[in-house]
Structure 1
Amino acid sequence: MLDAQLKQQLESYLQYIQQPIEISVSGNDTPKSAELLALAEEIAGMSNKIALVAGHAERQPTLSISQLGQTPRVHFAGIPMGHEFTSLVLALLQSGGHPSKADPALLEQIRNLKGEFHFETYISLSCQNCPDVVQALNLMATLNPNISHTMIDGALFQDEVAERQIMAVPNVYLNGEPFGQGRMTLPEIVGKLDSGAAERKTAELSQKAPYDMLIVGGGPAGAAAAIYAARKGIRTGLVAERFGGQVMDTVGIENFISISYTEGPKLAASLEQHVRQYGVDIITEQRAASIQRGDYVNLTLASGAELKSRAVVLATGARWRELNVPGEAEYRTKGVAYCPHCDGPFFKGKKVAVIGGGNSGIEAAIDLAGIVEHVTVVEFADTLRADEVLQRKAKSLPNVDIIVNAQTTEVLGDGSKVTGMTYKDRASGDIKRLDLAGIFVQIGLVPNTEWLKGSDLVLSRSGEIEIDARGATSMAGVFAAGDATTIPFKQIIISMGSGATAALGAFDYLIRTPDPQQQ
């Protein structure tokens, strides 16, 4: 199953196994079971510390991993290839005693969790968000004997997917009940299980000494700003809901100069690793709530904690714009989706629509055309906005139709899932209906700046932070960068450049402004 290069890489990783482990395979007479068994045999043959035994899992095929002689707590129901191959490798290493790089305090918190926690995560192998959740829950299962986790490939267990009406991944169940949907980090999951964690974290954060420069946001702009600040030798912090920002939702990146191709999660991991090399104090799972100017710039978080800094760089980025039509909120994750790569496989053989005729919309239509029965692109303007090469590709596909000059008016459903949508023909005024199983929204971005409304910061009409050539805002000591600002082009490389500019502008401000502690 593994090509020569992948096999060579895996053999090198398996050398880190410190104690014997078992792989068990539960299968039947299906081709997928034979495929999984072949993968398990290949892996077991690479290390004398791996034993292969027969399994007895309820779902088949399932590959389970445990320390030698123990009951397995990590299960892969399906074949963990694609984006989940890394999850398999990490599960092998961690079950074999190779230590995690996660925060030691967080690992100890996991070991001390009380109760029985049996997690199930429905994934698709094309989902770039799913591995984060799978790897977090697998790690928890290896650390605490009261925790188990099963990754479930929705494409192989379609009866379960239909019964639980799962139309978006990752989708996590705990002890048979819904627990969470979408990307979740390890600290976030642990925080939901440990009721006192949030209060302890808030108290801890409020005790932190003032920073010289505090970056708000963990995307490309925030990472660049943090690196440039830390290299100046000043006390630097970075606070964000998650590291990577919107890049984590980007699959293929082909215009990052000097790198012909990479993927969003891979780039985000590299950004985080680079930032950590400079000793930046990284605070995640926290959302900014308000900002005020006093002796310091005071940043209040949604948790109630307050951080202080001599200068602040705001790099809160943007998110997918929503349709804001009746039915969208009701059927989100029930047919309304925003990530074609993650959720596309759940609409195999069905009819879907893509709302938006820009690059992201046409790229989504092209990708989905290889999975679904039919794709209808619905564009508000009278022409598509995507690059000509993308338009030509989409128009060449036999199962893609394009409707322009159409205003989406409503998402329709039967109470549990999407059944269609309506749109207004802007030329005739007629209301028309499309019968669909899924709707993928790709209509651009909206800046994450709602929390700044009512502050002294000047925002543009579209909610973007007004900045000058140095990244300075209207508030003394506060700079901004990236997609949340008025920079005209929303691109990864441009965000990185603006992050560097804002950090240098903020540093210039610092060297010209007295430190409140020294006054």
Structure 2
Amino acid sequence: MLDNTLKTQLKAYLERIVQPVTLSASLDDGDKSREMRGLLEDIAALSGGRVTLETASAAAAGVHVPSFTVGRTAAAGSAGIRFAGIPLGHEFTSLVLALLQTGGHPPKVAPELIEQIRALPGEYRFQTYISLSCQNCPDVVQALNLMAVLNPRVTHEMIDGALFQDEVERLSIMAVPTVLLNGETFGQGRMSLEEIVAKLDSGAGARAADRLNAKEPFDVLVVGGGPAGAAAAIYAARKGIRTGVAAERFGGQVLDTLGIENFISVKETEGPKLAAALEEHVRSYEVDIMNLQRATKLVPGADGAPAEVELASGARLKAKTVILATGARWRDMNVPGEQEYRTKGVTYCPHCDGPLFKGKRVAVIGGGNSGVEAAIDLAGIVAHVTLLEFAPELKADAVLQRKLHSLPNVTVIVQAQTTEVTGDGQKVNGLRYTDRASGEAKRIELEGIFVQIGLLPNTDWLRGTVELSRFGEIIVDAKGQTSVPGVYGAGDCTTVPYKQIVIAMGQGSTAALAAFDHLIRTSAPA
């Protein structure tokens, strides 16, 4: 089942298990059951006796087949983790971590968060619907698996939507990851362990706000945890000054990026891997990282007083200088029906949600590189792709356009202005558009719409405080200085052209050096 390289790596990981682990599989005679059995037999054989395999030909009522649980021996406690699907691809790491953590290997989680998980009251039965091509799903799966290891009142089941497609359609799940708690929708999209626990622990937000309010002023406060924010934090911390990062989610939009092939010196990587590396690098310095914090207002300092950044939690952080690195988000079409059918057929991630539309008809909105790449990827999964572009011609690179036009199940429509998303009240069933050349209104019947029309800067909260361009970008000079002294901007939220990871990192570094220079000059004696 596993190749020799992967077996060697897995064997080394399994040597870290300190308590016996039992895999209990529910299988039938199908091909997927045979694949699952092969994977589990490989794990048991490589574990040196640390992992044992039990199989059952008849599953209990309500148990997915094929599936397996990861637990300790009967004397040590019951299994709280189940994989309904073969956890390879992006989910292979989830399987390895489940084995290690169940087997007593300590997780890399703050002790206070571990105690918070153990203290959660009540019973929690989580199910997460995923696709193996989704780069956002593993974070959610790994977080809930860890909670099941730490708290016996928590169970978690990962369910591969492509393998149990009838169930996905019955539940109208059209976006992954989708998490159910005790049979009800708990959340969709990427969620960190901290976010999940905060959602369950109603008093966590108020306690966190109190801790933030008590912090002393920072020399540099970075708002945003993407490539620009991470670079700014590292450069500031290396100067030996008090540095903080307030981020809604560390990693930013990089977390939603699948393949990265233009990050200089790294031939290829994936967004979540790069985001994890950024956070690890920042944490190697004395940087105060405050995650899950969304900024809502900037109050510039006056007469030498520090600036203040107000957060959605109600907390206020003070800083002598501020670096704004809040990045950007996917642009909406802003047409009737889009928000109503968001995650019910309207989606923004072809890599994550594409497998849920296997054999169906979908549309891609946008003819730039992102849109054309999405159409190419989807063409290998769905029955038919219709790509709609507003302009008279596609804007994607020529090599991508040639590949797109070679595909037999793709239709390209240019000069198409999408005017409405239609549905039956439960899910998408089509879209309407206007032919800009003829003025004729037309409709396409389909089951999914993938929106790929660019980005919007996350700067709405700054209007009236710092000068913004007509596109909502923070206007900065060559050093990243904004219209407010001591406040700097960096990354995709600014007017710097070409929104690229490597450019954002350089701009974050520049802003940090400029902030340090500002501190030197304003703190020098008269």
Q: TM-score, normalised on structure 1? A: 0.98
Q: Aligned partners of 2:189 and 2:170: how far apart in 1? A: 19
| 1:493 partnered with 2:464 | no
Partner of 1:49: 50
Residue in structure 1 matching 2:316, options 303, 306, 311: 306
**Aligned match of 1:147:** 154
**Residue 60 in structure 1 maps to residue 69 in structure 2:** no
SS of equivalent to 1:25: strand
In 2: Cα distance, 1:203 partner to 1:412 partner: 46
- 1:436-492 per-residue CA deviation (whole Å, 9 max, x = no partner) reads 11000000000000111132x100111000001000101111101000000011011
- For 2:513 and 2:94, the matched residues in 1 are separated by 39
Q: What secondary structure does 1:411 align onto?
A: strand
- Counterpart AA for 2:479: R
Identical-residue share of aligned pairs (%): 66
Structure 1 gap segments, 5+ residues each: none
**C-alpha displacement of 1:514:** 2.1
1:101-140 pair list within 5 angstroms? 101-140=108-147
Q: Deviations over 1:253-281 (max 9, x none)?
A: 11111111111111111111111111211
Q: Distance in 2 between matches of 1:443 and 1:347?
A: 20
Paired position in structure 2 for 1:431: 441
Work out the CA distance in 2 between the residues paired with 1:513 and 1:300: 24
- Match status 1:415 vs 2:425: yes
Q: Does 1:286 align with 2:296?
A: no
Distance 1:108 1:242 in 2: 22
Report the Cα distance in structure 1 between the residues aligned to 2:505 and 2:316, rounded to whole angstroms.
27
1:101-141, Cα deviation, whole Å (9 max, x unpaired)? 11110011000111000000000000000000000000000
In structure 2, give the amino acid aligned to 1:275: V
What is the distance in 2 between the residues matched to 1:235 and 1:286?
Answer: 19
Residue 96 of structure 2 aligns to a residue whose secondary structure is: helix
Match of 1:277 among 284, 299, 317: 284
- Does residue 180 in structure 1 map to residue 182 in structure 2? no
| In 1: Cα distance, 2:485 partner to 2:108 partner | 38
Question: Aligned equivalents of 2:507 and 2:464: distance in 1?
Answer: 25
Deviation for aligned residue 1:366 = 0.4
Corresponding residue number in structure 1 for 2:378: 368
Give the corresponding residue for 1:451: 461
Q: Which residue of the other structure, out of 377, 399, 405, is the alignment partner of 2:415?
A: 405
Partner-residue secondary structure (3-state), 1:513: helix
Q: Secondary structure at the match of 2:523?
A: coil
Distance in 1 separating the partners of 2:399 and 2:165? 36
Give, in angstroms, the shift of residue 160 of structure 1: 1.4
User: For the residues of structure 1 that align with 2:50 and 2:6, how far apart are their CA atoms?
Assistant: 19
Q: Report which stretch shifted further, 185-194 or 51-60.
A: 51-60
Matched, 1:460 2:474: no
State the distance in 2 between where 1:128 and 1:168 align.
13
Q: SS state of the match for residue 512, structure 1?
A: helix
Task: Name the CA distance, whole Å, in 2 between partners of 1:513 and 1:292.
Answer: 19
CA distance in 1, matches of 2:55, 2:363: 44
SS at match of 2:209: helix
Deviation at 1:20, TM superposition (A): 0.9
The 5 A counterparts of 1:90-239 are 90-239=97-246
Displacement of 1:4 in angstroms is 0.9
The answer as to 2:273 corresponding to 1:263 is no
The amino acid of 2:234's aligned partner reads I
Does 2:331 match 1:332? Answer: no
What RMSD over aligned residues (CA atoms) do the two structures have, in Å?
1.1
The alignment status of 1:358 with 2:368, answered yes or no, reads yes
| Over 2 Å off, 4+ runs | 54-57
User: So what's the TM-score if we normalise by structure 2?
Assistant: 0.97
- Please report how far the alpha carbon of residue 63 of structure 1 lies from its aligned counterpart in structure 2 after TM superposition: 1.5
- Count, aligned residues: 516
2:161 aligned partner, one-letter code: G
Counterparts of 2:387 and 2:460, CA distance in 1: 30
| CA shift digits 1:269-295 (9 cap, x unpaired) | 111111111121111111001011220
